[in-house]
Amino acid sequence: RNIRNYTFFSYEVREALHLSEQERRTILDCLHNIRHELQHAIDRHSRTLIVSNIEMFLNYCVRFYDRQFITRSDVAGKDILARFERTLDDYFLSDKPQTEGLPTVQYCAQELHLSANYFGDLVKRLTGKTAQEHIRLRLIDAAKERIADPARSIAEVAYELGFKYPAHFTRLFKNVVGCTPNR
């Protein structure tokens, strides 16, 4: 029931968790205990022991996963964030908003050659905001710059940024900024 909470299981192979030798032994011990319980005679305790060992395995995975982000160098994280910013800048400067719509976490992750879950987890750990929140903030920044141009209407700005409906743009702008984009 809870496996969906462990997003790292959907990472790409190249994003796999890197374990120390001791951590590797711990994980292998957990898997050995699970296998042992599955291969031997089933008694009234087997199910509880299997579930407990799987839970311990998952708890160790979370611990080692968290450690990975703690020990990740600041330079590598800042590099990914800088590349994320450039990806968004390039997106808004291109015709992609008009042809593809609003930028997505999936799109940005693909551009950075990362899985969406890994990318989202990394951005959240580095900034405290989700990747989607970060995209929305950059979207609003781009909107503010374009709204400042009196030659553009609010509807034009909305369409330029990839909104299908200006009303959706106005609603998002008001939710983020606290006022409508009207001049």
Helices (H), the chain: 21-39, 46-71, 74-93, 96-100, 105-111, 116-127, 131-147, 154-161, 166-177
Q: What is the pLDDT of residue 75?
A: 61
Q: What tokens appear for 52 in the block?
A: 């407990």
Average pLDDT, the chain: 88
Predicted TM-score (pTM) of the model is: 0.69
Q: What is the pLDDT of residues 157-181, one digit of tens each?
A: 999 999 999 999 999 999 999 999 9
Lowest-pLDDT range, 93-102, 118-127, 149-158?
118-127
**Separation between Cα atoms, residue 124 and residue 133, nearest integer Å:** 10
Side chain identity at residue 75, one-letter code? V
**Separation between Cα atoms, residue 27 and residue 55, nearest integer Å:** 12
**Separation between Cα atoms, residue 70 and residue 18, nearest integer Å:** 13
Q: How far is CA 176 from CA 54, 73, 87, in A?
A: 42, 32, 22
Q: What is the pLDDT of residue 111?
A: 95
Residues 6+ apart with CB under 8 A from 65: 8, 17
Asked whether the predicted pLDDT for residue 132 surpasses 90, the reply is yes
Domains along the chain with CATH numbers: 3-71 (no CATH), 74-177 (1.10.10.60)
What does the radius of gyration of the chain's CA atoms come to, in whole angstroms? 23
Chain centre distance of CA 76: 16
